[in-house]
Amino acid sequence: MNDSAHWLEGVLEKAGKSPEGGLSLLSSLPLDDAWEKAAEVAGIRQNELADLVAMFFHLPRADLEEVESKALKLVPESLAHEYTILPLREDYRRLVVATADPTNLEAEQSIGFASGRGISLVVASHLELQEAITAQYSPDKDVARILFQVQPDIEDSLDDIKLIEEEDDATPSLEDAGSGPLVNLTNVILKEAVESGASDIHLQPMAHGGVIRYRIDGVLRNSGNMPLSVLTRVISRIKIMAKLDIADRLRPQDGRAKVGFGDKRVDLRISTVPTRSSEKMVIRILDAEEAKGLEEVGIQEPEISHFQNLLTHREGIVVVTGPTGSGKTTSLYAALQHIHDEDINIMTVEDPVEYELPGLTQIQVETKQGVTFAAALRAILRQDPDVVFVGEIRDLETAQIAAQASLTGHLVLSTLHTNDAAGTVGRFVDMGLDRPTLAETLRGALAQRLVRRICPLCSEQVNGNLTEAETQLAKEYGVEPVVRPVGCGGCGQTGYRGRLPLVEVVTVTPKLKEIIFTGGSAAELQRAAREEGSRSLREVGVARVKSGETSLQELERVLGDVKGAPEGAGAGAGTGVEAAGVDAEDDLGGPPAILLVDDDGANRTIAKALLESEGHRVVEAEDGVEAMEYLQSGDAFSLMVLDLEMPRKDGREVLKETRASIATVGLPVIILTGTTDPDAELTLMEAGADDYIRKPFDPRRFMIRVKAALRRAGV
């Protein structure tokens, strides 16, 4: 090895990895370029090259996951970046430092002088160290980058977002969870969720980074990927807002916060659970201003008339049943507003109080303070109520007190978890309530589900031209659909916008009362209810399909009456985008999905083959318009390979739109282009591109760049 040779040449030569003719690395070559070229010509990854370097110099390999905060404080960030080193831990007055260049004596001396410690070196690849230095020293830089790319004037647009009801100085300050960029990024996520009509926000750590998902119209949609370090800090910020313990990530926690968006106020119910690598957070969004009246809920005739008749009783029990998220509480709040009057005393006991209604006395369950449903209900009965709303009947004690209240002249409204209205009787009996008491007190039961409404902006008439999936479902349900969902920008490419209730109402008539008293089965109750004029959930749903309000696919998704429905019979089956894309809910834990955008079919074929050979899933788009449809559909992608010159919408426009949305701002983008413009690379990198490759591309270099982009994104 001659005098001008780089020390990495000696490493590869000793390991038998040096190519014929030598490596030709000059000592003046920057360290990052030297590592990249050495790994490329040897046909190995940088972490494998680091193993060879460690063996060559007889040094240990670095574990960059074990970094002590006190070690970081001993070395300034500027030195870490200048020499590409990372202090790991202090060991017997010696500082263990990870380096990509064990030959750099100047770096060793400077770090020893700055820290006042002797230096022990361990080896890491240059790429590993760059990512680790940024993550350890500057966790806010990723936050600031994401925030800036979403909207340059974002801070001005967030001035009206405030946390409401801050308490005494003993509580953590709003800045404790991080800097201004972190606060603003959190506000962007909350604001976008509220504006999109989401009922829940899921902040979920995954093996390949963090995922933000919004539950819109009852269905989870992927709303953005970001580095796990950023997601963790957003979770900490929201825990501060909810006055939770940010240091405790090993136990589930629950809290609440109230946020103001200008004149609009929103309640947040926050829940965390520990995961293997971090913690997951779910935020329920409650808007008190959206508490609807009974006529606004959307219940059809004759069910709304039956429900109103049940509310005319001044004693007895009326329950609404259904799974979590089926709109039970919304319907009961609407009922309370319907019967509320100045001469009626209405009291509620809830967990939590979801909407604050004027004129009502609402009690929050606090189990730790002894305020349970049963205890609060007993106290309410001494407050001379006319109507009592119990958030949920969960046990025999609460059921018995509710029955006692109804027998003494009170109307009791509550929720219960059963599959249908007739199942209410069996649920009460299973709790231990005797049938004679139940027959005497139960006035009626509602079963409720929510189905998505077909988007009026993009729906298309079926006109008898059914797809294979629609044909099978039409046969099973006995009705042909009138319209089908398609998907557009207004509905997030789902084909649906808003939700409709399916409500089954069973009124306890003398005939049903006798069946309950004598121990009749649920099937007998159902038959008797049909004979008395009650429509089943299935019949109500079929009526919604006939009127063109929803689809058979949506009815199948919610009611599940048809077993083994064909694949593709879900939301948006009429669109090519959703059929080809990556399901945001089911496939988050799979291999990374890559969106490949190029109008040149030959280039797509080559790139797809290379990517799939490494185990990646590839979704192809022929131009920028199709690419944006995929991105807006909520599919989860880990990388986009984007051609620059394309018809309809070019790569520059796609990049700009991608970086302008919180849903895609964290998506790595590699530009693939044949342009010879020398300024193009600089312009595109400034616009938010993560890398730039010229056509025709070298397959090995292309894959190295792809892997580097995925590693930088934490994938």
Cα separation, 405 vs 377, whole angstroms: 9
CA dihedral 8, 11, 17, 21 (to 10 degrees): 60
576: pLDDT strictly greater than 70: no
Higher pLDDT, 107 or 352: 107
Cα separation, 514 vs 533, whole angstroms: 17
440: pLDDT strictly greater than 90: yes
Angle, nearest 10°, between helix axes 651-659 and 624-632?
20
Residue 370: pLDDT band (50, 70, 90) is confident
Token match 């005393």: residue?
Answer: 345
Task: Indicate the burial class of 341 (C-beta count within 10 angstroms; 0-12, 13-18, 19 or more).
Answer: exposed
CA angle 155, 661, 680 (to 5 degrees): 100
**Tokens of residue 580, six digits:** 């080809």
585: pLDDT strictly greater than 50: no
Over pLDDT 70: what percentage of the chain?
85
Pick from 205, 30, 203: which is nearest to 126 by CA?
30
Cα separation, 97 vs 122, whole angstroms: 6
Amino acid at the residue 366: E
Residue ranges with strand state E in 599-686: 617-621, 639-643, 669-673
Pick from 356, 354, 408: which is nearest to 378 by CA?
408
216: helix, strand or coil: strand
376: pLDDT strictly greater than 50: yes
Q: For residue 686, give the H/E element and its range.
A: helix 680-686
Residue 440, CA distances (Å) to 55, 316, 436 in order: 83, 8, 6
**Tokens of residue 446, six digits:** 């509602």
Could you tell me if residue 24 is left (phi over 0), alpha (psi between -120 and 50 degrees) or otherwise beta? left
**pLDDT tens-digit profile of 209-249?**
788 889 988 888 887 777 777 888 889 889 988 889 887 88
Cα separation, 471 vs 478, whole angstroms: 10
Compute the average pLDDT of residues 43-51: 90
Amino acid at the residue 626: E
- Can you give the pLDDT at residue 81? 85
Q: Which of 256-265, 567-576, 626-635 has the lowest mean pLDDT?
A: 567-576
281: pLDDT strictly greater than 60: yes
Over pLDDT 90: what percentage of the chain?
35
**Tokens of residue 192, six digits:** 């976008």
Q: Which of 295-299, 478-482, 568-572, 665-669 has the lowest mean pLDDT?
A: 568-572
Pick from 335, 336, 355, 333: which is nearest to 345 by CA?
336
Could you tell me if residue 370 is left (phi over 0), alpha (psi between -120 and 50 degrees) or otherwise beta? left
- Can you give the pLDDT at residue 277? 66
74: helix, strand or coil: coil
- Can you give the pLDDT at residue 668? 86
Residue 256: pLDDT band (50, 70, 90) is confident
* Residue-range domains of the chain with CATH: 7-137 (3.30.300.160), 146-288 (3.30.450.90), 303-559 (3.40.50.300), 581-712 (3.40.50.2300)
Task: Indicate the burial class of 146 (C-beta count within 10 angstroms; 0-12, 13-18, 19 or more).
Answer: buried
Higher pLDDT, 550 or 231: 550
- Dihedral sign for Cα 591, 592, 593, 594, please: negative
Amino acid at the residue 538: R
17: pLDDT strictly greater than 90: no
Q: In the sheet that 94-99 helps form, which strands lie side by side, from edge to edge?
A: 85-91, 94-99, 118-123
Cα separation, 425 vs 437, whole angstroms: 11
Cα separation, 438 vs 526, whole angstroms: 17
DSSP string, 232-246: HHHHHHHHHHTT--T
Residue 551: pLDDT band (50, 70, 90) is very high
* Average per-residue pLDDT for the chain: 83
